[in-house]
Chain A
Amino acid sequence: MLNFIQQLINGIQLGSVYALIALGYTMVYGIAKLINFAHGDIIMVGAYMSLICLSTLGLPLWATFIVIAVFCAVLGVLIERVAYKPLRGSSRMSALITAIGVSLLLENLFLLLFSSDPRPYPNMFPDISFTIGEMTISFLTVATIVITIIIMVVLSLFVNKTKLGTAMRAVSEDDGAAKLMGINVNTTISVTFAIGSALAAIAAVLYSSTYPLINPYMGSALGIKVFVAAVVGGIGIIPGAMCGGFIIGIAEALIKGYISSTLTDAFVFGILIIVLLVKPAGLLGKNVKEKV
């Protein structure tokens, strides 16, 4: 039983990081109808930038969080302005291809800057662990879960209670109508990219602290898995991303623990296929008829 709880906690920790990243995919998709494949690479950029902050500049952990959240937010907005905005209104496919282009650009840029050798990542969280019976939970695990929950609550409040949040929801429902109501669509989309990228940056620190080796390819593999999480939960729906992230994380941990440690990915992608067959719009998705 304790073993099961421990596995569950492992899954929730992994799921927390997935959920944070999935939020970025889902928010951008909800508002810009774009699957931002460069999102995974923002995590990679966040990981390298936080490594520089922590190791080279010697910043404390809390300052690192702020610096890289701002850095990645700016990067996210910059990417949106330079690469995606000029394509708004053109076919979805061109935007998707551009996103892949941006992803490759970031990856190869960092390959050039930092080489493909993995770098050790310093875990700056306090080395405390809590022992309950036979179970040991590290401070990092608790911090990851708590930080994720706080961010989710704040984000939900932001989206549902503030003016900007309302604007975001309006744009995601119908950007033409939103424009008529006096909402600045460009600003709203930029804010969405900024928030998504900042969340990715925070996820980057949490993820890299748990798995303390980073390389320029880390973002693409992680990005795909999280994209699956976003689709399972229902892409475009914020609670869907949270729930999708946790489902994939927990499923991964339990499958590894109880079924097969080598077939995990097969099972995880199997979940995706089943969900898409049964509920094509994702677990929390509404079946909206697409206007042609």
Chain B
Amino acid sequence: MKKFIALALVLAMAVTVLAACGGESGGSSGSTADTGDTIKIGGLAPLTGEVSVYGVAASNGAKMAIDEVNANGGILGGKKIEFLLEDEEGDATKAVNAYNKLVGEGIVALIGDVTSKPTMSVAQKSAKDNLPMVTPTATAAEVTTYGSNVFRACFLDPYQGEILASYANEKLSAKTAAVLYDSSDDYSIGIAESFKEHAEAYGIQVVAYEAFGEGDKDFKSQLTKIGAEKPDVLCVPSYYNTIALIVSQAKDLGIETTFLGGDGWDGVLGALADGKKTNADGAIFANHYYSGDTDEVVSNFFKNYKEIYGTDPNSFAALGYDAAMVLINAIEKAGSTDKDAIIKALNETDYNGVTGNIQYDGSGDPVKSVTIIKIENGEYTLSEKGYTVKK
């Protein structure tokens, strides 16, 4: 009997592991047999799975940029760009496998990956190959440290934490703060640590610093603990699916505080059922751009994207678009597909994109400002554009 139950438990664990491997990837798109006069650029994104909203949007943005360039006559004297996109389901191992596949297919540069964890794995591989790589949205600090070939179009996790602390201090006059973060996720840890450090430097007392694990769905215990401290602000740096669960449970527990978050909050309203979208009201998060912006570059991007894909772009789409444009401009400027020439050209980037002006300071990280979004009545509203840290 004992043995039987032990065996059953082992089998049970095997089932979970198998189940996790269950979803087969949707495969690549856009690969044609033509090789002669095209320039192959690889793309990596989670097109299915937990974080697919980011992956689909970022790759759509990149595809749109490439299609625009192709429609305008291509690059390097009329050559068309061929975009080879692979689905990695948000998984680091699958991302590295997909990267190897792309390299085998002869890509000259890579747009991707989308989330921090798989991007770090891919960056380590690509640094060895010295393959130019621009990630649209991987915000973890380490991403660009693996080699001079790695660039990104977005700002960093710690920077988001600093911005949020500054905003809480300056605009919300917060005296106490709490943090609830995912201790299994680098993105979440990055923002949480930096927020705590900077909030304390502003004299904000961090009254609770709580964590949860990967795949957790129940946050009531942590929220009860945080609620008892009555913090002015609650920083929840995570991704939209988890955040939807957290804001709903906080509402159930009657916790009243101002939620703060990073760019992972973008998409949270889609993860809340109709009629429950107001659960996230009052929340403030740092983002890359605001979709309702009236600026010409932004509004054109917004219009074209909606025409092509039928949905409103989020900031991941915008960053995907900007990452592709930064890379294409660099290839054009390099005048060849030579890896070192492209990397040199990337370092000299000065590009006005949808998410603002992008320049590089040599580290692969861009110099740019942040847009602050507030959720009101179940909708995203612009709180402040071009916000920078106030000392």
Contacts and interface: CB of A to CB of B under 8 A. Distances in A.
Real binding pair = yes
Nearest to B222: A261
B218 interface: yes
A122 B22 contact: no
A104 B19 contact: yes
Interface in A237-269: 252-254, 256-257, 261-262, 264-265
A254 B225 CA distance: 11
Given A3-B225, A141-B252, A257-B225, A217 B19 contact: yes
A103 B16 CA distance: 10
Contacts of B272: 120, 212
A276 B1 CA distance: 11
Interface string B37-51: 000000000001110
A90 interface: no
B15 A220 contact: yes
Give the bracket for the number of chain A residues in contact with chain B.
35 or more
Contacts of A115: 48
A134 B211 CA distance: 23
Interface in B1-40: 1-2, 4-5, 8-9, 11-16, 18-20, 22-23
A10 interface: yes
B71 interface: no
Nearest to A108: B22
Interface in B229-273: 241, 244-245, 248-249, 252-255, 270-273
A235 interface: yes
Interface string A87-119: 000001000100010011001100100011110
A104 B15 contact: yes
Contacts of B9: 227-228, 231
A92 to B, nearest CB: 7
Contacts of A223: 12
Nearest to A282: B5
Contacts of B228: 2-3, 134
Contacts of B274: 122
Nearest to A130: B254
B281 interface: no
Given A221-B215, A280-B1, A253 B245 contact: no
B21 to A, nearest CB: 11
Nearest to A2: B228
A262 B4 contact: no
A138 interface: yes
A280 B22 CA distance: 33
Contact of A100 (B15, B20, B249, B270): B15
A120 B244 contact: yes
B18 A123 contact: no
Contact of B220 (A10, A104, A118): A10
B254 A213 contact: no
Given A221-B16, A253-B221, A256-B221, A123 B248 contact: yes
A10 B224 contact: yes
A131 B254 contact: yes
Contacts of A14: 218, 220
Interface string B291-326: 000000000000000000000000000000000000
Contacts of A256: 218, 221-222
A262 B15 contact: no
B15 A129 contact: no
A216 to B, nearest CB: 8
Nearest to B50: A118
Given A120-B244, A120-B271, A212-B248, A111 B22 contact: yes
B22 A10 contact: no
Interface string A48-79: 00000001000000000000000000000000
B2 A276 contact: yes
Contact of A261 (B4, B23, B212, B254): B212
A227 B211 contact: no
Contacts of A235: 5
Interface in A269-291: 276, 280-281, 290
A37 B183 contact: no
B213 interface: yes
Interface string B330-341: 000000000000
A245 B104 CA distance: 52
Given A116-B49, A123-B276, A224-B13, A111 B23 contact: yes
A264 B222 CA distance: 12
14 contacts: A2-B228, A7-B224, A10-B224, A37-B11, A103-B15, A104-B22, A107-B22, A116-B50, A123-B276, A211-B249, A213-B241, A213-B271, A254-B221, A256-B222
